[in-house]
């Protein structure tokens, strides 16, 4: 899952980035409203964290521009403690959730998980297919109750396919959601990650639709 952090306070932005990366998210950063508006309009993020008080263009203006141009990416706004009117305006402008600074990283993480589940139409934080289960709260995968260890990329591929289960996902869509903006992209490596996942989790979990992509057929 790929997330844009639009926050001009460097220390806070880095803290958020560190936490999200540790949770297996792919993260891009924007340090002002203009950069945020561009990235949010051109890259297919799964979620955007948007500070309302951004330089050059404020967060509320950026959010309104996205919504007016049909960008429906889930947006969580960050507001100042006394910014109740920003929260009202933000929600009315199309924000999906908000957090007031300062906040606990654990709350940010939980809100992000919930927003991503809502976006993909899932309500259960644990996905399962046959004897395989994937817990989105800690990225833990088990096969018949036995934990399996995955690399960050394998986990990112599995998470995206499970969140979008019963839908065909192309290799290019997968690369869009597991690599950051300036990351080296090679859609051939997606096939490598899928093969490694099959070795660890069995052949039946991820189905290949020849020439089109992959699907996990699961009860969601």
Residue 86 in contact with Ca ion, rule: CB under 5 A: no
Q: Rule CB under 5 A: is residue 12 a binding residue for Ca ion?
A: no
* Residue choice 23, 46, 51, 154 for contact with Ca ion (CB under 5 A): 51
Q: In this chain, which stretch among 6-14, 37-45, 125-133, 198-206 interacts with Ca ion, using CB under 5 A? A: 6-14
Instruction: Select from 115, 48, 52 the least CA-distant residue to 88.
Output: 52
The region of 50-58, 65-73, 121-129, 172-180 touching Ca ion under the rule CB under 5 A is: 50-58
Tokens at 46, concatenated: 């799964």
3-class secondary structure per residue, 63-99: HHHHHHCCCCCCEEEEECCCCHHHHHHHHHCCCCEEE
Question: At its nearest, how many Å lie between Ca ion and the CB of residue 91?
Answer: 19
DSSP letters for 121-187:
T---SEEEETTEEEETTTTEEEETTEEE---HHHHHHHHHHHHTTTS-B-HHHHHHHHS-TTS---H
Nearer Cβ to Ca ion (8/23): 8
Q: Which of residues 55 and 121 has its CB atom nearest to Ca ion in the complex?
A: 55
Closest distance of CB 7 from Ca ion, Å = 6
As measured in angstroms, the least distance from the Cβ of 38 to Ca ion is 18
Residue with smaller CB distance to Ca ion, 8 or 46? 8
Distance of closest approach, residue 77 Cβ to Ca ion, in angstroms: 11
From candidates 3, 4, 5, 8, binder to Ca ion by CB under 5 A:
8
| Cβ proximity to Ca ion, 53 vs 94, nearer residue | 53
Stretch that binds Ca ion, among 42-50, 51-59, 146-154, 177-185 (CB under 5 A): 51-59
CA distances from 125 to 76, 88, 217 (A): 19, 29, 17
The helix (H) or strand (E) run that includes residue 203 is: none
Residues within the interface to Ca ion (CB under 5 A): 8, 51, 53
């Amino acid at each position: 899952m790929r997330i844009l952090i639009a926050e001009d306070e460097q220390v806070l932005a880095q803290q958020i980035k560190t936490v999200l990366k540790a949770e297996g998210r792919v993260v891009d950063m924007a340090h002002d409203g203009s950069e945020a508006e561009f990235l949010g309009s051109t890259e297919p993020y799964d979620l955007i964290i948007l500070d309302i008080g951004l330089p050059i263009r404020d967060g509320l203006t950026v959010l309104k521009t996205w919504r007016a141009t049909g960008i429906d990416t889930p947006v969580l706004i960050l507001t100042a403690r006394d910014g109740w009117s920003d929260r009202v305006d933000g929600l009315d402008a199309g924000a999906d959730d908000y957090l007031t600074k300062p906040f606990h990283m654990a709350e940010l993480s939980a809100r992000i998980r919930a927003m991503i589940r809502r976006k993909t139409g899932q309500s259960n934080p644990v996905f399962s297919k046959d004897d395989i289960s994937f817990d989105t709260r800690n990225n833990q995968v088990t096969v018949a109750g036995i934990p399996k260890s995955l690399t960050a990329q394998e986990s990112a591929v599995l998470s995206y396919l499970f969140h979008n289960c019963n839908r065909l996902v192309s290799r290019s869509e997968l690369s869009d959601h597991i690599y950051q903006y300036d990351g080296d992209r090679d859609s051939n490596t997606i096939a490598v990650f899928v093969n490694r996942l099959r070795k660890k989790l069995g052949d039946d979990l991820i189905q290949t639709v020849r020439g089109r992509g992959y699907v996990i057929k699961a009860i969601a």
